[in-house]
Structure 1
Amino acid sequence: MSDAMVYEIDPQVFWRDPYPDLKRMRAMAPVVFVPQLGATLIVRRQDIFEQEKKTEVFSSDQPGGLMTVLMGQNMMRKDGADHLAERKAIFSTVSPKTVQRVWTDQFRAATEQVLAGLKGQGRCDLVRDYALPVSAEALKAMTGLTQMSAVEMDRVSQGMIDGCANYAGDPEVEARCHDCTASIDRHIDEMIPFVDAAPDQSLLSVQRQAGMEDAQVRANIKLAISGGQNEPRDAIAGTVWALLQNPDQLELVRAGRAAWRQAFEEYARWMSPIGMSPRRVAQKYELHGVTLKPEERVFLMFGSGNRDEAVFARPDAFDLTQDITAAISFGAGPHFCAGAWAAKALIGDVALPMLFERFSDLRLDGAAEFGGWAFRGPLQMPVRWD
């Protein structure tokens, strides 16, 4: 067991709102051991920023890790040359140029259809009825699994992220995750003949064009779905909630003194849809007097680093006027989120401005419930408009 200071959590309380515990952890020590998670947590921003780059110590290669066992060894679970080779192979799908030239127009068209479906309703659950299909339609196009329904895309994504965060070993959660990965494999099988006959910029197509092994193609598509659905979904709905809860901040955007992208990026700092990334200790290492031993599990707590009082002026506030250039919402090292440009375009350039333009009097219609710490977002969000 780690010789770091021990910090006990109530897992249910931590899932509902991890930020009070994370604040106490940062005040107590930069590195703490949490028995309920079976992991050593690095909780301060500068440490996360520096240590994530030391892949020779904090390795993403985790043969026994939940993601690898449940989804296959995708590029996120590789380091060095192996990681770079696969990242290079998929770059043409997620590059800023492709996002601008190929995907953004498709994002707008799909979002317009979702908005048209809401016309005349006067109210909805923004998570289920807007953020979910907008995110799913974007991901269907980018992965190449265009025949999958939006609801199924959301189901398989949630099933996989629940599986990857199943540190309690719940057999029902694991079984659902296996069912979800099997569904993705069936959809991949159906689409292979089509993308081979007519190659495009989708993730399925570019990987096959690059000659990647079938197991890697599938593992990387599962990776894209596990993060590419729930995180944009949660960030779309969450940013809308933050703006409606803070009308002075919404007015900054409407008056042109802040950008929609800026609102999304501040939300991603403040509420961190990706709250944590696990690492395996590959060699003995000392950090702040704590000896980390080979094969121990370390969590890089992005959600904690993004609220570090030593870095941000108003860490616990949603505030578009503060400097967030130090935010690590998309990671800080070689595993920086490959889909960052697509997320910024989908959320900041499409989903937010189109929603507020269509429903200028959008307002909350009840309480929004949030959950999660490894992945965090609103579970429901009732809204209404005239």
Structure 2
Amino acid sequence: MSNAPHFDIDVSAFWADPYPALARMRKEAPIAFVPQLNSTVFTRRDDIFTQEKRIDIFSSHQPAGLMNVLMGHNMMRKDGDAHMAERTAMFPAVSPRTVRDTWVRQFQAHGDRILDQLAPRGSADLCKAFALPLSAECLKDVTGLTNMRFEDMDAWSQAMIDGIANYTGDRQVEARCHAATAGIDAAIDDMIPVVTKHPNTSILSVLLAAGQPMESIRANIKLAISGGQNEPRDAIAGAIWALLTHPDQLALVHGGKAKWLDVFEEYARWIAPIGMSPRRVAKPWSYGGVDFEPEDRVFFMFGSANRDEACFDDPDRFDVTRNTQKSIAFGAGPHYCAGAFASRAMVADVALPGIFARLKGLRLDAREPVRIGGWAFRGLLNLPVEWDA
């Protein structure tokens, strides 16, 4: 175990709002061992930015890690050539060109259809009625699993997320994760003959065409679902909420002084949908006055890095005019999120302009408070709103 100073947290309070504790850690113990998480956590942006690239020290390869055990050995848990080979095979499905030429059009069609159904209602929980189905329908296309219901895409994604963040070993959480991965495997099996006969730009199709081993295909599609559903879902709902609670920022967009992409980038900095990325210490290492030993577990806290006072002025403030260049919401090293381009398109090109154009007089429903939670993955749990139908 590392000799990092110990920093205790209240787990329930940390889930409800991790930012006060993270701010204290950045100030008092920027590299600290948190007994409640059984991990050494990095909380300052520049430390994370430099050390995440040291894959020889802080390895993504975690044979006994929850993601490997529950979802299979995917590219996020590989380093070097092994990681790059699988990332390169997937790239044609999520490249900027494919997003521009294929996915944006399909994302827009899903957004328009959902809003056509939603607009006459006058009120809804936008987490469930808009962000969830839009993200899931888009992800069905991108993964190639168009045989799934969008409800299953979201439920199975959440079950896997809960499973890989199940550091307390809850058996019910683990069982739900196993059920989800079994469902995804069945969906993959059903779609293999379809995309084999009619190849397309989906992840399943391009991985099959690249000759990837079936176990890698399964693992990487589960990876895409575990992150590709909750992150844009949470960014869509969260950015809408941020703008509704900061009408001055929404006015900047409507006035042409900020773009929808600025909203997305600032929201991802302000409340990073992925708040943490785990690593395994591969060999002895000393950094920042802390000695690390092999097999120590390290958490790079992206949510803390993006509120680092050394890099962002008034970091707790939501400001769409902010320079977000130092944000590491999508990671900083070789594991930079492969789906970043698709997420930006879904949120900034389709969801945000669509919702504010179609739902006139959009406002929070004062009868029900908005709830938000999580630290490894953080997002809104509901978004009750009204509009002029």
Settle same-fold status: TM greater than 0.5. yes
Distance 2:271 2:291 in 1: 31
Confirm whether residue 379 of structure 1 aligns to residue 381 of structure 2: yes
Does structure 1 retain, via aligned residues, the 8 Å contact 2:363–2:386?
Answer: yes
Distance 1:222 1:81 in 2: 21
Q: CA deviation at 1:42?
A: 0.5
Does structure 1 retain, via aligned residues, the 8 Å contact 2:42–2:48?
Answer: yes
1:329-368 counterparts in 2 under 5 A?
329-366=329-366, 367-368=369-370
Distance 2:43 2:22 in 1: 7
Taking only the aligned residue pairs, the percentage that are identical comes to 59
1:153-192 counterparts in 2 under 5 A?
153-192=153-192
Q: After superposition, what is the alpha-carbon deviation per residue over 1:56-85, rounded to whole angstroms, capped at 9, x for unaligned? A: 000000000000000000000000000001
Q: After superposition, what is the alpha-carbon deviation per residue over 1:194-253, rounded to whole angstroms, capped at 9, x for unaligned? A: 000011100000000000000000000000000000010000000000000000000000
Q: CA deviation at 1:357?
A: 0.5
Residue in 2 that maps onto 1:113: 113
Residue in 2 that maps onto 1:253: 253
* Unmatched 5+ stretches in structure 1: none
Residue in 1 that maps onto 2:69: 69
Residue in 1 that maps onto 2:194: 194
Q: CA deviation at 1:360?
A: 2.8
Distance 2:200 2:130 in 1: 27
Query: Counterpart of 2:319 in 1: which secondary structure?
Result: coil
Distance 2:28 2:119 in 1: 51
Aligned partner letter, 2:383: M
Residue in 2 that maps onto 1:328: 328
Distance 1:267 1:119 in 2: 25
Q: TM-score, normalised by structure 1?
A: 0.99
1:290-329 counterparts in 2 under 5 A?
290-329=290-329
Confirm whether residue 231 of structure 1 aligns to residue 231 of structure 2: yes
Q: After superposition, what is the alpha-carbon deviation per residue over 1:347-376, rounded to whole angstroms, capped at 9, x for unaligned? A: 001000011000131111132100100000
- Considering only aligned residues, what root-mean-square deviation do their CA atoms show, in Å? 0.6
Q: TM-score, normalised by structure 2?
A: 0.99
Query: Counterpart of 1:6 in 2: which secondary structure?
Result: coil
Q: CA deviation at 1:321?
A: 2.0
Residue in 2 that maps onto 1:241: 241
Structure 1 segments, 4+ long, off by >2 Å, are: none
* Unmatched 5+ stretches in structure 2: none
Does structure 2 retain, via aligned residues, the 8 Å contact 1:314–1:322?
Answer: no
Q: CA deviation at 1:2?
A: 2.2
Query: Counterpart of 1:201 in 2: which secondary structure?
Result: coil
Does structure 1 retain, via aligned residues, the 8 Å contact 2:59–2:281?
Answer: yes
Distance 1:343 1:118 in 2: 22
Distance 2:31 2:322 in 1: 27
Residue in 1 that maps onto 2:282: 282
Query: Counterpart of 1:286 in 2: which secondary structure?
Result: strand
Query: Counterpart of 2:121 in 1: which secondary structure?
Result: coil
Residue in 2 that maps onto 1:123: 123
Query: Counterpart of 1:380 in 2: which secondary structure?
Result: coil
Aligned partner letter, 2:258: A
Does structure 1 retain, via aligned residues, the 8 Å contact 2:119–2:359?
Answer: no
Q: CA deviation at 1:323?
A: 1.6
Distance 2:277 2:353 in 1: 30
Distance 2:126 2:22 in 1: 28
Q: CA deviation at 1:289?
A: 1.0
Number of residue-to-residue matches in the alignment: 386
Residue in 2 that maps onto 1:54: 54
Residue in 2 that maps onto 1:32: 32
Q: CA deviation at 1:325?
A: 0.7
Residue in 2 that maps onto 1:209: 209
Distance 1:94 1:328 in 2: 19
Aligned partner letter, 2:3: D
Aligned partner letter, 2:164: C
Query: Counterpart of 1:131 in 2: which secondary structure?
Result: helix
Query: Counterpart of 1:135 in 2: which secondary structure?
Result: helix
Residue in 1 that maps onto 2:371: 369
Distance 1:240 1:365 in 2: 13
Distance 1:168 1:302 in 2: 21
Q: CA deviation at 1:119?
A: 2.4
Distance 2:116 2:345 in 1: 21
